[in-house]
C-alpha cells in the first residue's frame, strides 16, 4: 500500500483531554469552560464528531494573567448548600430564587439516589449578591407576585439550563444546518418530524443533532429524569423552538440543499416479442376423469361373495367368469326338469329390457399410510401353498406305497 494513502497528522491541534492536561485543569472544568465560551474549539474534521483545541488557543490562555487560577475561578461551581453560604442566605431562600429563574444552573447530574443535583457558578452568585437591587430578595420579604408563582409550582431551573446549553451549541454552529441540529436537540422527535417533513432533510438534521450532557443517562433507571431535563416541556418553549427550527431549515435549504441519494436511471427494458401458438401445437389441458365402460349385453359378471375371516376365506374368493350362451340349431332349447310354469305376460305390464351393468370405478389408494381403508392383501402365495398339498414325512418318501390286500414281505 502506498504511503500517500494516509493523511499527515496535524500537530497544531490536540484533543480535549490533552488540552486539559496542558492547561492544568480537570476534564470537567475544561468542558464547562468550552460551554461558557472561555475556551475556543474547532470541529473534528476526521469524522469523530467531537471538538478539538488548537495550540494557538492553549498559548493564548497560558499568556493571561493569573493562569491557571483565573480560569479555574471562572468554571468553579457549587451546590445549593454552598451557594446559600456564599450568598449568606438560607438554603430554602436559595432554592426559591433558583426556581423563580433568578439563579441559572450551569451543570446538572443525577446522584445514585435518583435526586437531581443542580450546580451554580460561584462567579454568578457573587455578582447577584453584590447588586444592590437584589438586596430585598436576599433579606426582605418575597414579593407577592413571586410567592404566587411559587404556589403554582413554577420551576425554571431545567428551562434555564437548556437555554444555557442552546447558547453554547449555537456559538459552535458554523452553518444553518448545524443551527437547525442544535435547535432539534431540545425538541422531542415528534415535534422535529412535524416541522421538517422532508425525510432527507430530517435525516440530515438528526445527524447534525448534538448530544447534551444529561442525555448520557439514556438506558438507565434515571432515563425519564434525563428526558425531562434535556427536552422542552412548556408549550411556549416548544413553540419558540419550532419557529426557530423552521426558519433555520428554510435558510439552510436556500443556501445548500440537504444531501440526497443519487437517482439511478435504468435503461429501457427489452421485452420479448410474443409469438403466436401454432394451430397443431400440443397444449396442456386439465385432466379428464375416466368414464365408466359399459359391459356388453351378452356378458354376465358374477358378483363376488362377501369375504369371511381367515386365510381360507381369502383363498375361496370367487373370480369373475364370463358365460357365453350356446346357440342351438333347429328347434327350441330343451326345458329343464321341474321347470316352473310359464305365465302369459299381462297386457298392461311394461316390457322388460336387459339393462347392461356398469362396473364400479376402483377405490382410490390412500397416499399416506394409515389414512383411509387399506388395500386388500394379495392371495397369490396362499393359493400356491394350497396347490402343493400336505407335506410328506421322510419315512413315507423312502418306503413305497403298499397295495391294498397284500402284506409286506419279511426276512424270514
Closest CA to 252 of 171, 319, 177: 177
User: Reduced to 3 states, what is the DSSP secondary structure of residue 280?
Assistant: coil
Closest CA to 102 of 71, 133, 144: 133
**Would you state the cell numbers that stand for residue 224, as one nine-digit string?**
425519564
Q: What local confidence, expressed as pLDDT, does residue 380 receive? A: 78
Q: What local confidence, expressed as pLDDT, does residue 274 receive? A: 74
116-121/77-78 β-pairing: antiparallel
Name the phi and psi angles at 112, rounded to 5.
Answer: -70, -15
Span of 135-144, 239-248, 278-287 with lowest mean pLDDT: 278-287
Closest CA to 168 of 207, 213, 123: 213
* pLDDT confidence band for 58 (50 / 70 / 90): very high
**Would you state the cell numbers that stand for residue 33, as one nine-digit string?**
469552560
Span of 40-54, 100-114, 375-389 with lowest mean pLDDT: 375-389
304-352: pLDDT as tens digits: 454 444 444 444 444 445 545 555 444 444 555 555 555 555 555 555 5
How far, in Å, CA of 196 to CA of 207, rounded? 13
* pLDDT confidence band for 161 (50 / 70 / 90): very high
Is the C-alpha dihedral spanning 60, 64, 68, 73 positive or negative?
A: negative
Mean pLDDT of 166-194: 92
Q: What local confidence, expressed as pLDDT, does residue 100 receive? A: 93
First CA to last CA distance, the chain:
121
Kindly report each contact of residues 30-35 with a partner whose C-beta sits within 8 Å and lies 24 or more positions away, as own/partner. 31/213, 32/75, 32/77, 32/106, 32/107, 33/71, 33/74, 33/75, 34/168, 35/106, 35/164, 35/165, 35/168
Question: Greatest CA separation found in the chain?
Answer: 166
Q: What local confidence, expressed as pLDDT, does residue 129 receive? A: 92
* pLDDT confidence band for 95 (50 / 70 / 90): very high
Residue 184 in contact with residue 205, Cβ under 8 Å?
yes
pLDDT of 61 over the 80 cut:
yes
Residue 193 in contact with residue 221, Cβ under 8 Å?
no
202-242: pLDDT as tens digits: 999 999 888 876 655 555 667 788 888 889 988 999 999 99
Closest CA to 166 of 31, 35, 43: 35
How far, in Å, CA of 206 to CA of 184, rounded? 8
Span of 49-63, 156-170, 348-362 with lowest mean pLDDT: 348-362
Mean pLDDT of 157-167: 93
Q: What local confidence, expressed as pLDDT, does residue 13 receive? A: 87
Residue 55 in contact with residue 13, Cβ under 8 Å?
yes
Q: What local confidence, expressed as pLDDT, does residue 121 receive? A: 95
Q: What local confidence, expressed as pLDDT, does residue 211 receive? A: 81
Provide, rounded to the nearest whole percent, the portion of the chain with pLDDT above 90: 37
pLDDT of 113 over the 60 cut:
yes
Q: What local confidence, expressed as pLDDT, does residue 225 receive? A: 84
CA distances 151 to 93, 134, 138, 148, 315, Å, are 14, 21, 19, 5, 108
How far, in Å, CA of 183 to CA of 185, rounded? 5
Q: What local confidence, expressed as pLDDT, does residue 227 receive? A: 84
Angle, nearest 10°, between helix axes 80-87 and 91-99? 100
Residue 82 in contact with residue 117, Cβ under 8 Å?
no
Q: What local confidence, expressed as pLDDT, does residue 224 receive? A: 82
pLDDT of 126 over the 90 cut:
yes
Cβ atoms within 10 Å of 336's Cβ, excluding its own = 7
Whether this prediction's pTM lies above 0.75 is answered by no
Candidate ranges 226-235, 244-253, 385-394; pick with highest mean pLDDT:
244-253
Burial of 300 (0-12, 13-18, 19+ CB in 10 A): middle
Q: What local confidence, expressed as pLDDT, does residue 259 receive? A: 86
Q: What is the phi-psi region of residue 405: left when phi exceeds 0, alpha when psi lies from -120 to 50, beta otherwise?
A: left
pLDDT of 24 over the 80 cut:
yes
Average pLDDT taken over every residue of the chain? 76
How far, in Å, CA of 53 to CA of 269, rounded? 56
Q: What local confidence, expressed as pLDDT, does residue 102 receive? A: 93
Q: What local confidence, expressed as pLDDT, does residue 341 receive? A: 56
How far, in Å, CA of 110 to CA of 222, rounded? 8
Amino acid at each position: 500500500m502506498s504511503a500517500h494513502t494516509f493523511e499527515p497528522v496535524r500537530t497544531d491541534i490536540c484533543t480535549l483531554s490533552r488540552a486539559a492536561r496542558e492547561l492544568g485543569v480537570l476534564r470537567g472544568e475544561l468542558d464547562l469552560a468550552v460551554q461558557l465560551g472561555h475556551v475556543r474549539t474547532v470541529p473534528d474534521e476526521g469524522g469523530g464528531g467531537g471538538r478539538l483545541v488548537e495550540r494557538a488557543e492553549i498559548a493564548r490562555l497560558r499568556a493571561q494573567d493569573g493562569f491557571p487560577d483565573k480560569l479555574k475561578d471562572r468554571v468553579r461551581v457549587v451546590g445549593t448548600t454552598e451557594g446559600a453560604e456564599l450568598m449568606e442566605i438560607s438554603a430554602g431562600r436559595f432554592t426559591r430564587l433558583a426556581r423563580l429563574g433568578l439563579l441559572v444552573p450551569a451543570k446538572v447530574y443525577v446522584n445514585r439516589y435518583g435526586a437531581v443535583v443542580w450546580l451554580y457558578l460561584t462567579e454568578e452568585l457573587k455578582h447577584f449578591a453584590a447588586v444592590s437591587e437584589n438586596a430585598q430578595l436576599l433579606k426582605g420579604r418575597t414579593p407577592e407576585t413571586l410567592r404566587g408563582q411559587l404556589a403554582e409550582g413554577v420551576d425554571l431551573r431545567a428551562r434555564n439550563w437548556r437555554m444555557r446549553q442552546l447558547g453554547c451549541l449555537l456559538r459552535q454552529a458554523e452553518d444553518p444546518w448545524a443551527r437547525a441540529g442544535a435547535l432539534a436537540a431540545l425538541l422531542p422527535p415528534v415535534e422535529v418530524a412535524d416541522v421538517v417533513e422532508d425525510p432527507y432533510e430530517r435525516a440530515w438534521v438528526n445527524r447534525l443533532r448534538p448530544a447534551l450532557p444529561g442525555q448520557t443517562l439514556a438506558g438507565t433507571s434515571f432515563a425519564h429524569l434525563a428526558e425531562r431535563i434535556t427536552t422542552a416541556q412548556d408549550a411556549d418553549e416548544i413553540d419558540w423552538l419550532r419557529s426557530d427550527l423552521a426558519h433555520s431549515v428554510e435558510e439552510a435549504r436556500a443556501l445548500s440543499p440537504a444531501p440526497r441519494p443519487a437517482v439511478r436511471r435504468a435503461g429501457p427494458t427489452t421485452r420479448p416479442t410474443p409469438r403466436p401458438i401454432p394451430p397443431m401445437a400440443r397444449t396442456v389441458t386439465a385432466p379428464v376423469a375416466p368414464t365408466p365402460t359399459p359391459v356388453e349385453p351378452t356378458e354376465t359378471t358374477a358378483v363376488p361373495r362377501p369375504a369371511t375371516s381367515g386365510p381360507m376365506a381369502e383363498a375361496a374368493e370367487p373370480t369373475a367368469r364370463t358365460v357365453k350362451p350356446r346357440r342351438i340349431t333347429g328347434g327350441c332349447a330343451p326345458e329343464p326338469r321341474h321347470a316352473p310354469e310359464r305365465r302369459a305376460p299381462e297386457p298392461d305390464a311394461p316390457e322388460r329390457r336387459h339393462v347392461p351393468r356398469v362396473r364400479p370405478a376402483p377405490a382410490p389408494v390412500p397416499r399416506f399410510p394409515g389414512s383411509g381403508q387399506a388395500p386388500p392383501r394379495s392371495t397369490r402365495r396362499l393359493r400356491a401353498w394350497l396347490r402343493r398339498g400336505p407335506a410328506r414325512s421322510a419315512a413315507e418318501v423312502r418306503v413305497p406305497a403298499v397295495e391294498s390286500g397284500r402284506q409286506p414281505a419279511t426276512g424270514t
